[in-house]
Amino acid sequence: MILTITPNPALDVTYHLADVRWGEVNRVTEVTETAGGKGVNVARVLHQLSEPVSCTGFLGGDTGDRMRDMLAGLDQRWVPVPHTTRRTTAVVTGTATTLFNEPGAPVDEGAWHALSTVVADVAGRGDVVVLSGSMPPGTTESAVGELVSHAARRGARVVADTSGPLLRTAARAGAALVKPNQEELREATGEADVVAGAQVLLADGAEAVVVSLGEDGMLALTGGSGRPHRTVRARPSGVVPGNPTGAGDAAVAALARALHAAAATPLESVLHASLADAVALSAAAVACPVAGEVDLGRYQRERAAVAATTG
Amino acid sequence: MILTITPNPALDVTYHLADVRWGEVNRVTEVTETAGGKGVNVARVLHQLSEPVSCTGFLGGDTGDRMRDMLAGLDQRWVPVPHTTRRTTAVVTGTATTLFNEPGAPVDEGAWHALSTVVADVAGRGDVVVLSGSMPPGTTESAVGELVSHAARRGARVVADTSGPLLRTAARAGAALVKPNQEELREATGEADVVAGAQVLLADGAEAVVVSLGEDGMLALTGGSGRPHRTVRARPSGVVPGNPTGAGDAAVAALARALHAAAATPLESVLHASLADAVALSAAAVACPVAGEVDLGRYQRERAAVAATTG
């Protein structure tokens, strides 16, 4: 089973309009809504690929109810919280997408405890736990660290795709794989160089670091703790026009699927075999207008075109 | 009794952030919510002034529930509808406010009928009915015309503050007073000149037209149908810094209060006596950061400073 955890999910609201007059009144032409949050996107992609996946996190209020309805068909194990789940508002014109992310509300200790119970119910040896996205305001490093180490102790491999100091917390707590983008890596480690930044996370304890490089594909690093570093690099066949939101989540879905399919295989070998697949699925997500969905035809074509090189 | 009708109310959501990076991801610092819609603002100002006021319109879903809670203390006579009431999203930085207005959802004939029953329950001779703001998508001119003539036939004086062709519909259906701003007047009548535009609405059947001119105050016209036009003009004492959203609604509240207090007095005399008051209350609304509220101290000072001139 793959369990995705979204501690700070959101109802993604999109305002479509021809253009925006800044500082003025704008009439929105159309409003669309999707269940959002990075872990939700990962779960939706895995569900689309018919993988055994379950999603959890903290959910509440009427936006939470709406998200639960929208995710019907997916195995959902949300921890109920008293506050109303936040929204994100995307303002989409013909030329630009501007995102406004509400911060969300704090979550108490009892809810974090309930979340670790969900993890205990679902995750054991051979399972994969994906922790994605931002945390509720006020989340402590120890809450995140305990959740990661709890899953790791149960034998699950943990993939962490979050940002800030929590990336290092997850690496130290036993995450097998951490996946920052370039900016998140720099922010978390203070290193401008990608390899140097990834080495910090390896030294923290991560078995592997996969850095998403946008249109340049992905770079995976393994090794550390005295062992020589190995890298795998994969590039998309070209620039895919579309919506980059959710591309990183599709890559995480591909990596989680590969880890789940090869539970006994060393991570380095899994990455060698799957990084090109992650880049292909990521491109297939860009080709889809909605985050959390992939264009399966595009995915097949990209799979044939993307190659990985090792170093 | 003053009854305000808001056919297309909204939960006004405000995103506060230091600045906006256009085309990028922005983290919202704080989210605040108020019950909105122009008729709701009018009712809130009248309630603050301890006037006997009731509000109605179409309300539904969880945003509707939240608005009802926020308006506790106000006499509310909403017609329930199956759709969720829309939102507006205001993005407020230190230097600019950008509004995104969702369109709302259509309302069926049964709901319009229920609304006219509310009007029949509340409004009779001596009462004032205020129809404010945008209409739900798909609203016909006949629905608006029937509502206005229904209230007028019952002896209530109707104030219409809407836009587009419906301004003329309201004037033709028996609205005593219509209150466009300059742009709305031009849009509705095709006349660039304020007096010429107002004359169109007087010829349509309105007893009075009050045009809000922003920082230049307000101009009222009466007469028409062969009678000579009379004007009343009032200007604020100076430019009031603040939030102009809701300033027009405060002016409408002042005019509705004056009409209600002098039910047997000709409209021309009421306007002569009350236009300066409307400009003062409007300035007191600008001085308040939240639409639908007025700064009572500012109101007292402006009352002493604003004078009306007749022509």
Alpha-carbon span A301 to A62, nearest angstrom:
40
Q: Does A69 touch chain B (CB under 8 A)?
A: no
Task: Using alpha carbons only, give the angle B73, B76, B79 rounded to the nearest 5 degrees.
Answer: 155
Q: Does A307 touch chain B (CB under 8 A)?
A: no
- B276-297, pLDDT tens digit by residue? 999 999 999 998 888 899 999 9
Contact A23 B97 (CB under 8 A): yes
Question: Are the C-beta atoms of residues A204 and A167 closer than 8 Å to each other?
Answer: no
Q: Does A113 touch chain B (CB under 8 A)?
A: no
């430019």: which residue's tokens? B239
User: How big is chain B by its Cα radius of gyration, in Å?
Assistant: 19
Q: Say yes or no to pLDDT of B180 above 90.
A: yes
Alpha-carbon span A272 to A270, nearest angstrom:
5
B187: number of Cβ within 10 Å: 15
The residue type at A103: P
Contact B99 A20 (CB under 8 A): no
The residue type at B279: V
A193 is catalytic: no
DSSP conformation letters of B24-49 = SEEE-SEEEEEEESHHHHHHHHHHHT
Task: Please report the ipTM that was assigned to this predicted complex.
Answer: 0.85
**Given this model, what pLDDT does residue B225 score?**
64
Contact B98 A28 (CB under 8 A): no
**The two structure tokens encoding residue B67:** 């608005």
Tens place of pLDDT for every residue, chain A, 311 residues? 999 999 999 999 999 999 999 999 999 999 999 999 999 999 999 999 999 999 999 999 999 999 999 999 999 999 999 999 999 999 999 888 899 999 999 999 999 999 999 999 999 999 999 999 999 999 999 999 999 999 999 999 999 999 999 999 999 999 999 999 999 999 999 999 999 999 999 999 999 999 999 889 999 999 866 677 889 999 988 888 887 888 999 999 999 999 999 988 999 999 999 999 999 999 999 998 888 999 999 999 999 999 889 87
CA-nearest residue to B95 within chain A is: A23
From the candidates A12, A127, A249, A295, which is the catalytic residue? A249
Alpha-carbon span B245 to A179, nearest angstrom:
45
Q: What is the mean pLDDT of residues B172-185?
A: 96
**Given this model, what pLDDT does residue B245 score?**
83
**The two structure tokens encoding residue B156:** 């209530």
Record: fold of A2-310? UDP-N-acetylmuramoyl-L-alanine:D-glutamate ligase (3.40.1190)
Question: What are the boundaries of each domain within chain A?
Answer: 2-310
Alpha-carbon span B200 to B194, nearest angstrom:
10
Q: Bridge-partner residues for A212, per DSSP? A: A181, A218
DSSP conformation letters of B59-97 = E-HHHHHHHHHHTTTSEE-PEE-SSPPPEEEEEE-SS-E
Task: Using alpha carbons only, give the angle A105, A110, A114 rounded to the nearest 5 degrees.
Answer: 100
Choose the mutation target among B13, B14, B91, B95 for the interface with A, i.e. most A CBs under 10 Å. Answer: B91
Element (H, E) at B167: helix B165-172
- Please list every residue in chain B whose beta carbon sits closer than 8 Å to the beta carbon of residue A12: none
Contact B23 A97 (CB under 8 A): yes
The residue type at B62: D
**Given this model, what pLDDT does residue B290 score?**
83
Query: Exposed, middle or buried: residue A169 (CB in 10 Å: 0-12, 13-18, 19+)?
Result: buried
Alpha-carbon span B253 to A6, nearest angstrom:
47
* C-alpha dihedral sign at B237, B243, B248, B252: negative
Is pTM beyond 0.90? Reply is: no
Share of residues in chain B with pLDDT > 70 (%): 99
Distance (Å) from the alpha carbon of B231 to chain A's nearest alpha carbon: 30
Share of residues in chain B with pLDDT > 90 (%): 86
Out of B29, B61, B96, closest to residue A23 by CB: B96
**Given this model, what pLDDT does residue B74 score?**
97
Distance (Å) from the alpha carbon of B225 to chain A's nearest alpha carbon: 36
Give which of B275, B251, B152, B282 is closest to B206, Cα–Cα: B152
